[in-house]
Amino acid sequence: MKTFSVSHKTVIVVDHCPYMAESSRQQIECDMLTKSRAQGVIPLAPVSKSLWTCAVECSMEYLRILYDIYPARKLDMSAHRDILACTVLQVNYIVSDSEFHILNSWRQEDQSVQELMSALAAVGPPNPREDPECCSILHGLVAAVESLCKITEYQHESRTTLMDMAERVANRGRIICLTNAKSDTHVRMLEDCVLETIQEQNKLAAGSDRLMPIQQCELVLVHIYPQGDDTLVSDRPKKEISSVLNSEVHSVRAGRHLASKLNVLVQQHFDLASTTITNIPMKEEQHANTSANYDVELLHHRDAHIEFIKSGMHSIFVFDQCIPDCVCTGDLHMAGSTSRDSGLKETVTLKWCTPRTNSVELHYCTGAFRISPVDVNSRPSSCLTNFLLNGRSVLLEQPRKSGSKVISHMLSCHGGEIFLHTLNSTRSTLEDPPSISEGCGGRVTDYRITDFGEFMRENRLTPFPDMPVDAAGRAPFERAKAQLERHTRYWPMIISQTTIFNMQAVVPLANLIVKDSMTEDDLLTCQKTVYNLVDMERKNDPLPISTVGSRGKGPKRDEQYRIMWNELETLVKTHVGTSERHQQVLECISACRSKPPEEEERKKRGRKREDKEDKTEKNGKESEEKGWAPDSERLKGAIEREKEEQSESEVIKDSPDSPEPFNKKPRLATEELLSLEKSKGPVSLLSLWTSRITQANSRKHQEFAGRINSVNNKAELYQHLKDENGMDVHENGKATR
């Protein structure tokens, strides 16, 4: 259905003239129970509906089905896509007697059966004593045309939003007129009147902002006559009256004939189709331990049958005669319109299937279509719908005489709405794919699966319908992405790449540091975490350092703590720009962590350099880092060197034996890099990760003693001579822990 097809606007016009008060002569026995209860009581006379009652209840049924399958919805007019993406169907209900009464408007909030029921109650049945001369359906038809010219909220917004494409917003509509016509000539007169009114209104509309000329109008005249009468009006299929007006005439007896006619029409008008669920097991009220099988017919969009139509499985369509006393020959060939016109209804039968499915199974589903039961308050229907509304799902299979079972559909409820899901029943081109363990990263066995699971739970989504954008103008899903970004600034993927995430003691800090804003309490918790770590280090508690790949027992305890502190610093540094309090966490760590003696620093530097050399060799193969890693690696190296230098110069500035300070040139370069880094924001994950790997690698082999102690890759000879002299200065200068 196109966005602005004739189905976008429907006007229902119901005749409210005195003759509609006439009885339909279909009698309903209300007095059912007395017969068995009290003999001698004269049963009450049966009641019968008027033509008006028949017309109103059938039109309400038409709308019930329509609103079940195409519910009215609030549109977000600010979203361009929203306007284009949804099907909006609107109905205007008009009653006609000596004048017209418009019972609702095009507005979305007026699109409800409840609202219309209330309005209809206020109108009441036709007054048989009203002067028939002043009453006419024409008042209503004229009003219907005028109403079609009125621009709907949706059309208006589409036009203003689309601007340059405004001319693509079309104005088409359908008028369903329920009346009691006098003759074929009378029908002709009604059609002419509608056409004339369209022409007049289109002229008016051309010069107005609030009106749109009608491009196409479909008139569906339903002539209702009492049972037992002969019809004075003949049926006529759709015919073009003019380029803007098509018209068709249906002559129907009041009562169930009218109901099934409107049921057929609603299917035609809104692309619906019927499915009958068969073999539904239901407990008998009287005998609770037995069950009988029932059938329930559902309507839904006809695309739910698209697989049958595509694959030419016409045999699946069953044709029921829905009007028992109408003589028809059942043409068992699938042909929608002809079979409908001949009074047959077609339905696809699908079998209730046990065992049922559970909700945590993800079916390959190619479509989901809202349903409406044909017989909404019959016992089988309400049993089925209540079963589904309680959150259970049912698989449906195609009835086959032999062969394998083909499950093609599923009924399932989401948020109080029942959907018919179409399941893929053809074989997939994706069968037997390689397992993920055979591809990249498939051999790695120590992924932090549980931690990432926890991460996913923290990054679950929830709807914020009332908060479209926050103070910073971000939509909720943008905030979700921003949170993912924050949470992954430092996130090692495997257990052996991390120490801090394997430590329960770090959890409080790790959880808080990723937050967008920290409270004073959060800050305190972080600081406590740090103090706790300091305490652990003092007590020499073991750390969960991975020994994977390293020879022997792995690094020594103090080395372990150094690695842990470095990693913690790395994590916190990525969040340091978030707020003042984040900054304070980093300061707390810097202040509390043990400062390794200069020796250590030198070692580290030496290793770093060597690792870098390693790196350049490896880059050929590990091309992932090729593009930008060396850059940030250099950056990071520079920052660290700078920092070390600062701390060194602080500590050893007085020492006569302090190593030669870095020459000015690299220092300048470092400053440049630093400012560059600031403008770039936090250090990227990849560079952090790379440095982690570098550190890990450095533990895997024993370093040449000379290089360990080297400065600028130059090993000083006869160091012991110096050490003897200068050692105590260092000892005094540093707080040893």
- 487 binding another protein? (CB under 8 A): yes
Q: In angstroms, what is the minimal distance from the CB of 361 to another protein?
A: 7
Distance from chain centroid for Cα 502: 35
Q: Which is nearer to another protein, 579 or 655 (CB)?
A: 579
Contact between 201 and another protein (CB under 8 A)? no
The torsion angles phi and psi of 127, rounded to 5 degrees, stand at -90, 110
Taking the least distance from each CB to another protein, the nearer of 48 and 655 is: 48
Please answer whether residues 347 and 262 qualify as being in contact, where contact means their C-beta atoms are separated by less than 8 angstroms.
Answer: no
C-beta of residue 295 within 8 angstroms of C-beta of residue 351: no
Binding another protein (rule: CB under 8 A), the pick from 209, 361, 650, 724 is 361
Contact 555, 525 (CB under 8 A): no
Judged by CB under 8 A, which of 135, 187, 259, 322 binds another protein? 259
Residues 640-679 that bind another protein (CB under 8 A): none
Q: H/E element holding 218? A: strand 216-225
132 or 661: CB nearest another protein: 132
399 vs 316: CA distance, rounded Å? 8
41 binds another protein (CB under 8 A): yes
From CA 447, how far away is CA 453, in angstroms rounded? Answer: 11
**297 in Cβ contact with 320 (< 8 Å):** no
The footprint of another protein on residues 446-485 (CB under 8 A) is 447-450, 452-453, 455-465, 467-468, 470, 475-477, 479-481, 483-485
Which of 258, 253, 337, 257 has its CA nearest to residue 56? 258
- The span from the CA of 276 to the CA of 316, in Å, is 11
In 3-state terms, what secondary structure has residue 732? helix
**Least distance CB 695 / another protein (angstroms):** 16
CB 648 within 8 A of CB 601: yes
| Site track for another protein across 684-723, x = CB under 8 A | xx--------------------------------------
Site for another protein (CB under 8 A): which residue of 31, 99, 587, 599?
31
Instruction: Determine, following the binding rule CB under 8 A, whether residue 429 of this chain makes contact with another protein.
Output: yes
Options 35-43, 271-279, 534-542, 563-571: segment touching another protein (CB under 8 A): 35-43
Q: How many CB atoms lie within 10 A of CB 716?
A: 12
In the complex with another protein, the residue whose CB is nearer, 275 or 385, is 385
Least separation in angstroms between residue 252's CB and another protein is: 13
Question: Which residue lies nearer to another protein by CB, 456 or 717?
Answer: 456
236-240 and 216-225 beta bridge pairing: unpaired
Segment 615 to 634, residues that bind another protein, using CB under 8 A: 621-624, 626
Q: Is 385 in the site for another protein (CB under 8 A)?
A: yes
Structure tokens that stand for 126 in this block: 């036709």
Complex with another protein: residue 483 or 527, whichever CB lies closer:
483
Residue 332 or 376 with smaller CB distance to another protein: 376
Instruction: Determine if 325 is a binding residue for another protein (CB under 8 A).
Output: no
Residue 732 engages another protein in binding (rule: CB under 8 A): no
CA separation for the pair 379, 398 (Å, rounded)? 24
Instruction: Decide if 689 contacts 492 (C-beta within 8 A).
Output: yes
Q: Which of residues 574-603 bind another protein (CB under 8 A)?
A: none
Under a CB-based contact definition with an 8 Å cutoff, are residues 634 and 666 in contact? no
37 binds another protein per the rule CB under 8 A: yes
Q: Are 375 and 276 in contact (CB under 8 A)?
A: no
Beta carbons within 8 Å of 523's beta carbon, 6+ residues apart: 581, 584, 585
Question: For another protein, which stretch binds (CB under 8 A), given 186-194, 378-386, 575-583, 698-706?
Answer: 378-386
Copy the structure tokens of residue 156: 């208006």
Stretch that binds another protein, among 238-246, 490-498, 671-679, 710-718 (CB under 8 A): 490-498
Binding segment toward another protein, per CB under 8 A, in 210-218, 287-295, 398-406, 438-446: 438-446
Encoded tokens for 425: 């029943």
- Of 92 and 412, nearer to another protein (C-beta) is 412
270 touches another protein (CB under 8 A): no
**Which residues, 523 to 582, sit near another protein by CB under 8 A?**
none
Burial group, residue 571, by CB count within 10 angstroms (0-12, 13-18, 19+): buried
Is 412 among the residues that bind another protein (CB under 8 A)?
A: yes
Name residues contacting another protein, limited to 304-323 (CB under 8 A).
Answer: 310-312
Is residue 144 classed exposed, middle or buried when 0-12, 13-18 and 19+ CB atoms within 10 A define those classes? buried
Residues 42-61 that bind another protein (CB under 8 A): 44, 47-50, 52-53, 56-58, 60-61
Residue placing its CB nearer to another protein in the complex, 86 or 206: 86
Return the range that interacts with another protein (CB under 8 A); candidates 424-432, 639-647, 661-669, 724-732: 424-432
Does 637 participate in binding another protein (rule CB under 8 A)?
Answer: no
| The residue to which tokens 């059966």 are assigned | 113
> Does the protein bind another protein through residue 237 (CB under 8 A)?
no
| Cβ distance to another protein smaller for residue 457 or 553 | 457
Instruction: Characterize 441-455 residue by residue with b for buried, 16 or more Cβ atoms within 10 angstroms of its Cβ, and e for exposed.
Output: eeeeeeebeebeeee
User: Tokens standing for 10?
Assistant: 């429907």
Q: How many residues does the chain have?
A: 737
Q: Which of residues 137-166 bind another protein (CB under 8 A)?
A: 158, 162, 165
- Paired tokens of 72: 């009215």
Which structure tokens are listed for 473? Answer: 């103008």
CB of 459 to another protein, least distance (A): 5
**Distance between the two ends of the chain, CA-based, in angstroms?**
77
